[in-house]
Every structure is written in C-alpha cells, then in structure tokens.
Amino acid sequence: MRTVGVVCEYNPFHLGHARQLALLRQQDPEAVVVCLMSGLYVQRGQPAVFSRQVRARAALLAGADLVLELPVTVSLRSAEGFAAGGVEILDRLGVEGISFGAETADRETLLETARQLLSPQFGEALRPHLDEGLSFPAARSRALKDLGGDPAVLERPNDILAVEYCKAILARGSGLIPLPICRPGDYHALDADRENPSATALRRRILAGEPWLAYVPEEARPAYEGAGVHSLALGERAVLARLRTLEEEAFAALPGASEGLWRKLLRESRRQTGLEGLLTAVKSKRYTRSRLDRMVLCAFLGLTAEDLAAEAPYVRILGFRDRGRQALREMSSRLPLAHAGQGMESPYFALEQRCERLYGLFGQTLEAPELRERVARL
C-alpha cells in the first residue's frame, strides 16, 4: 500500500496521534501518510483550540507526509456525515487505505456492524425506539441488538466513528481498505494519561493555563510555541448576539433542525444570557449535546443544512514534506487542490472566508483567572 489516509482533528496533536503515525510507518515504511484534518472548527461544534496552521505543522513534524484541510462543511456534520465526507474526499484523491483508532481493532467486526446498519431491516428496527423518545444513538444501539448485533460497538466513541467509516466505504462502493488501530485509554477522559492522553483532557489543561506539552511528542512541540488559544467561551457574547438577530427562516435552515428543535432553540436564544444556560435549556433525552453545539456554531457561522450537504469543490493544502509533494502531483489531477490563502472562483470560497474571519473572535488571551474558569466550564 502506498497511500494511507487519516481523517483527523488533532485538537491538539498529542502522543496518541504520534503513536498511530508510527504504527502506520512500521506497517509500510514507504507509505505516504495523508492527514485530512479539520480546519478552524471541529466536529463537536467548537472552534479548534489552535489554528489549522499550528496543528498541521505539529503533524508534519511528527511524521505526517501531507496535511490537507477537511472542508468546514464536512467537519461540522454529524459523525455519520463527517465520516462519509472524509471517505468521499480520500476516495476521490485516489488514497488506498484509511486508518483510524478504534477500541475494537478487528476490521471484520466493524465491517459486519456497518453492514447491519445499512440493511433494510435496520430502519424497521430503529423506528419503534425513536418513537419511544430515545436519542438517535440510544435507539440505534437498541435496534442493532434487535438484529443480533453487538450494541457495545456503538457505545465506545472511537468504535462509533470507525463503524461510520466502514459504512461510508460500503455505501460508496469504495476500494478504500479500512485499517483500524487499537486506541487504548479513555477518549473523553478528563485527566491526562501520560501514555494515552485524551484530547479532551489536554484542552482542559490548555484552557486552564496548566502545563500540557509533556503529552506532545518532543519533535512536535515547536509548533505550539507562541500559538494563540481559541475557545467558544471567548466568543460567547458574539455567538449569543448573532443568535438573537436571526429570524425563523435561519433557524429552520440549520443542520439537524427538526421543527420542534429549531423552535425551542429560537425561543431560548431570546431568553438566555449565556451559552451554557441556552444549551441546557434546549437539551433533552432525544437531542445530544454535540448536536446542539453544532447547530449553535452553524447558526453563528451562517451555515445551513444545504451548505453541509454540498460537495466541496476543492480541498486546501495545509503542508507537506518531500514524499507528500510527490503524491500531490497525482492527487491534483483527481480533485482540485488549493494552497493556503489562495483565492478560488467559487461560492464556497466566500463561505470559507466568512468562517475564517469569525474564527478570530474566539482567540483572545487567557490572562484573567475568572476568564480561565469560564472557558474551562464551557
């Protein structure tokens, strides 16, 4: 295998990510490792803690050959849409394999679960559980169990995304080869583990002004020197102000906005004076917090369900090493590629520019202790 893709966020890049790149290099020393990385915003509905340039440089210093930007219209989709968009881009680029972390590192188990979720019987098994008022993730696990599958696979965060990658490959009829790598440790752990740190724990440390570079490979640490920090809490007032100015049509057009949900979000955005209060007031058993976070961020950025469903007309190059430069020559004949900062004649370019300008509102200094506390809470 000569090209291996990794759909990633690197928010921030840490020892666990470096371990994946090292394992890929061990499996095939000649492979070109292509990282398709979220840019300024990540799938959980938050601004990335560091800019895309900082995170791309960290990945390159730690062994990646090529870093491309996952379009914002893909990075802010649900897990299913995120995986499908990543697979679609890697497939169009001619990448041969896709590597991802998973608690269940057995490829056949993941593929079989994906086949069950794509079967006609799954939809029939899912509907009754949704009608009970269960959230989609809970209803999906119940339906999978009804079909004789292992619901535990859909209860582990990395396995969930791994199954979505496999679903996307099967649904697309792609030749991409799934390459799961065992991901030890707790993905959402709030305390940083030295061997297998979670990005969640590291973000908490960063935003609280605590030491965290010990959890980053030494060769990647220079990328973070003097890097500005970004957080949703730092732009909280701007987000709230934007929500209060939106009309019904804008809320109705948001991704994932069923009628009952967008109306509730609209109503509470007029009442609440803080993002945490707003999200708590809207959240229910049926709607996950991450779904609401993405809706709020999309509302702020002016992104609609139609925007997120559209195929990005090009992909941006964030950085490369010598081996990556060679791969770019062939990839550019398959899918239009743009260098960082390069203007493009496309409506998508205007969307990109808007999202980039607004990202700056989330990037202030964290000097006041009370500000650090508020950021850590969000």
User: What pLDDT, in 10s, does the model give residues 23-36?
Assistant: 999 999 999 999 99
User: What pLDDT, in 10s, does the model give residues 149-197?
Assistant: 999 999 888 999 999 999 999 999 999 999 999 976 554 555 556 667 8
Q: Which superfamily, per CATH, for 3-103+156-230+313-347?
A: HUPs (3.40.50.620)
CA distance 362 to 259: 29
Q: Do 158 and 176 contact (CB within 8 A), yes or no? A: no
Q: Do 199 and 22 contact (CB within 8 A), yes or no? A: no
Tokens of 159: 């396995």
Beta bridge partners of 264: none
| pLDDT score of 369 | 43
CA distance 278 to 378: 12
| pLDDT score of 288 | 84
CA distance 266 to 317: 37
CA distance 326 to 321: 9
Tokens of 342: 């390069």
Q: What is the pTM of this model?
A: 0.91
For tokens 């799954």, what's the residue? Answer: 122
CA distance 52 to 316: 11
Q: Do 267 and 257 contact (CB within 8 A), yes or no? A: no
CA distance 3 to 289: 36
Task: Parse the chain into domains and list their residue ranges.
Answer: 3-103+156-230+313-347, 236-311
**By CB neighbour count within 10 A (0-12 exposed, 13-18 middle, 19+ buried), where does 72 fall?**
buried
Tokens of 118: 């794509």
Per-residue pLDDT of the chain (378 residues; tens, 9 = 90+): 599 999 999 999 999 999 999 999 999 999 999 999 999 999 999 999 999 999 999 999 999 999 999 999 999 999 999 999 999 999 999 999 999 999 988 999 999 999 999 999 999 999 999 998 888 889 999 999 999 999 999 988 899 999 999 999 999 999 999 999 997 655 455 555 666 788 999 999 999 999 999 999 999 999 999 999 999 999 999 999 999 999 999 999 999 988 789 999 999 999 999 999 999 999 987 888 999 999 999 999 999 999 999 998 999 999 999 999 999 999 999 999 999 888 888 899 999 999 999 999 999 654 444 444 444 444
Q: In whole angstroms, how far apart are CA 121 and each of 43, 115, 167? A: 29, 11, 15
Beta bridge partners of 33: 4
